[in-house]
């Protein structure tokens, strides 16, 4: 039997956790697949990229396109140009892309124009907010993909409404949760991060904010910072600052109650927000699993907190992951300061909603995906 050649694409931090379980499953079935990995370099520094290969047990990429940061148009165009050369060399039978970043859009477009089939992992998610670059990436990628792997039933409904044939759509679960399940034993260990354990005993809020709508305009960023400072009056806030957010803080200035931390977290106290650099995957998961609540605008964190049962407040007006609100711990709160503080009081008082794990979020999504690839 001739092995099918598959190129899997990663580019930004969220992609690693989604694609790593699929790569492991493809390698496990080596007799069926010749699997190679392409890293576009959309996220390129050690904290946002290299550390994930080590922690997730991913092989080093067969190709690193080294694109780096740029405007949406320039970055997308550069990825397309460089990925086209890889496809000419490899002649893959299938390109696998995940999520909704520029690398997802660029590589799927390139492949389809070269008549190479595309599989989209995490298909069908919709915020219905076209001011979000990710929404455009999702819509275009789904419209040209041959296999669409969904994480929740809303994805199936959206794709059907958009005219995608039923035979292309497969509800498989969530590969990001596969990664979390794989390292669940690590999260239950008390060793290795004693400082976080000590913080958890006293309680803390964890925050991560990076979307352009929240950080690119001074007025919006000021609202976010005011919310975090107000929240810190209840419990200390650990603010894991994305490089994009950190740059905006440098540009616009910040209150003196934002304390920079580069190394070990020392004693923390209420009324202060502690700025942390990007954490590795395992360090972030461990810290999140011990937080009293999480304040975020990240899609993936909405999913991870739902699985872990950690209260999550999403500082956006919408979510493309409605299952996290319907059965999970997530609540969409926008930048409504009064509502957010009321939610935090409810959480601290133990009055948060009961949660459940969504269907098929069981750590076996990658196996279901590769089963479908084999039959396809």
Q: Residue 59 pLDDT more than 90?
A: no
Closest CA to 154 of 328, 314, 330, 322: 322
Q: Is the pLDDT of residue 45 over 60?
A: no
Measured between alpha carbons, how far is 298 from 371 in angstroms, rounded to an integer?
A: 30
How far apart are the C-alpha atoms of 324 and 307, rounded to whole Å?
Answer: 9
- Residue by residue, DSSP assigns 37-66 as EEE--SS-SIIIIIHHHHHTTPPPPSEE--
pLDDT-based confidence at 187, cuts 50/70/90?
confident
pLDDT exceeds cutoff 90 at 30 = no
As a whole number of angstroms, the distance between CA 96 and CA 119 comes to: 5
Q: Output phi, psi for 297, to 5 deg.
A: -125, 15
Q: What is the H or E stretch that residue 259 is in? A: strand 258-260
> In the chain, how long is the greatest CA-to-CA distance?
65
CA 146, CA 117: separation in Å to the nearest integer? 6
pLDDT surpassing 70 at residue 1 = no
Cβ atoms of 168 and 145 closer than 8 Å: yes
In sequence order, what are the residues at sequence separation of 6 or more whose Cβ sits closer than 8 angstroms to the Cβ of residue 47?
277, 278, 279, 280
Residue range 185-348 forms a domain whose CATH class is alpha beta
Q: How confident is the model at residue 242 (pLDDT cuts 50, 70, 90)?
A: confident
Q: Give the model confidence (pLDDT) of 276-328 as tens digits.
A: 988 888 889 999 999 999 999 999 999 999 999 999 999 999 999 999 999 99
Specify whether the CB–CB gap between 192 and 220 falls below 8 A: no
User: 4-174+361-375 has which fold?
Assistant: Rossmann fold (3.40.50)
- Banded model confidence at residue 61, pLDDT cuts 50, 70, 90: very high
Cβ contact 118:144 at 8 Å: yes
* Whole-number pLDDT of residue 13: 84
If you average pLDDT over every residue of the chain, what do you get?
A: 91
pLDDT value of position 196: 72
Which listed residue (39, 54, 120, 210) is catalytic? 210
Q: 338 Cβ partners below 8 Å, 6+ apart?
A: none
Structure tokens at 284: 């972030």
| Span 254-285, pLDDT tens digits | 778 898 887 777 778 899 999 998 888 888 99
Q: Which of 174-178, 196-200, 207-211, 235-239 has the lowest mean pLDDT?
A: 196-200
Q: Residue 195: what pLDDT?
A: 61
Dist. CA 19–CA 1, nearest whole Å: 25
158 in active site: no
pLDDT, residue 198, reads: 67
Structure tokens at 8: 């899997």
pLDDT of residue 136 exceeding 60, the answer is yes
Topology match between the domains 4-174+361-375 and 185-348: yes
Q: Where are the domains of the chain?
A: 4-174+361-375, 185-348
Q: Mean per-residue pLDDT for 330-350?
A: 97
**Among positive and negative, which fits the CA dihedral 318, 323, 324, 326?**
positive
**Burial call 272-303: b when 16+ CB within 10 Å, e when fewer:** bbbbbebbebbbbbbbbbbbbbbbbbbbbbbb
Beta partners for 295?
A: 207, 313
Beta bridge partners of 119: 96, 147
- What average pLDDT does the segment 343-363 reach? 95
pLDDT greater at residue 189 or residue 23: 23
At residue 178 the predicted structure's pLDDT band, cuts being 50, 70 and 90, is: very high
For residues 119 and 82, what is the distance between their CA atoms, to the nearest angstrom? Answer: 20
Write the CB contacts of 196 (distance below 8 Å, at least 6 apart in sequence). Answer: 265, 286, 287, 290
pTM for this predicted structure? 0.93
């Amino acid at each position: 039997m001739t092995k099918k050649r598959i190129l899997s694409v990663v580019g930004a931090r969220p992609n690693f956790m989604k694609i790593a379980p699929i790569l492991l499953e493809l390698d496990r079935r080596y007799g069926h697949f010749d699997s190679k990995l392409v890293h576009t370099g959309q996220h390129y520094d050690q904290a946002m990229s290299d550390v994930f290969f080590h922690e997730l047990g991913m092989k080093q990429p067969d190709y690193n396109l080294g694109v780096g940061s740029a405007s949406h148009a320039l970055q997308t165009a550069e990825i397309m140009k460089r990925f086209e050369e890889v496809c000419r060399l490899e002649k893959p039978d299938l390109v696998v892309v995940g999520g909704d970043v520029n690398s997802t859009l660029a590589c799927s477009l390139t492949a389809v124009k070269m008549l190479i089939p595309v599989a989209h992992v995490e298909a069908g998610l919709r915020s219905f907010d076209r001011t979000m670059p990710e929404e455009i990436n999702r819509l275009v990628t789904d419209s040209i993909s041959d296999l669409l792997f969904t994480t929740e039933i809303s994805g199936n409904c959206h794709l059907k409404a958009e005219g995608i044939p039923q035979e292309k759509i497969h509800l498989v679960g969530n590969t990001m949760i596969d990664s979390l399940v794989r390292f669940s034993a690590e999260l239950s260990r008390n060793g290795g991060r004693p400082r976080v354990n000590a913080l958890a005993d006293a309680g803390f809020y964890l925050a991560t904010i990076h979307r352009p709508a929240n950080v690119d305009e001074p007025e919006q960023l000021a609202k976010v910072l005011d919310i975090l400072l107000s929240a810190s009056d209840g419990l200390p806030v650990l603010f894991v600052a994305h490089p994009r957010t950190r740059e905006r803080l440098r540009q616009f200035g910040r209150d003196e109650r934002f304390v920079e931390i580069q190394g070990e977290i020392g004693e923390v106290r209420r009324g202060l927000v502690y700025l942390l650099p990007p954490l590795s995957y395992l360090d972030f998961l461990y810290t999140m699993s011990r937080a009293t609540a999480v304040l975020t605008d990240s899609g993936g964190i909405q999913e991870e907190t739902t699985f872990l049962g950690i209260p999550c407040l999403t500082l956006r007006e919408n979510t493309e992951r409605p299952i996290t609100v319907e059965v999970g711990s997530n609540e969409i709160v926008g930048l409504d300061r009064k509502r957010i503080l009321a939610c935090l009081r409810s959480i601290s008082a133990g009055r948060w909603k009961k949660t459940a794990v969504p269907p098929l979020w069981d750590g076996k999504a990658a196996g279901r995906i590769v089963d479908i690839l084999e039959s396809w």
